[in-house]
Amino acid sequence: MPAPEDATMMTASDGLDPAIRGTRWQHRKTGGIYRIVGKCRIEATGEEAFLYQGTDGTIWARPCGEFMDGRFEPLDAD
């Protein structure tokens, strides 16, 4: 299994907008900080999802609609 630092290499051609890749977000409920590292598809539903990595190195997947529904707040402002 690739190391967490390889996550960006694994998702380099996933179709994620380069302006979103690498942005940091904070989960409003838990306060956790995450960085978007890629995009994938949920096998069971076919939904597009963001791959995001926590400060502990764990990589998570969440459907894009859920990620953008207000439960995460962007930390990287233009």
For 23-78, which CATH class? Answer: mainly beta
Where are the domains positioned within the chain?
A: 23-78
Determine the pLDDT at residue 38.
95
Nearest to 68 by CA among 47, 44, 54, 43: 47
Whether this model's pTM surpasses 0.95: no
Determine the pLDDT at residue 15.
80
User: Over the stretch 22-68, which tens digit does the pLDDT of each residue have?
Assistant: 999 999 999 999 999 999 999 999 999 999 999 999 999 999 999 99
Whether the per-residue pLDDT at 17 is higher than 90: the answer is no
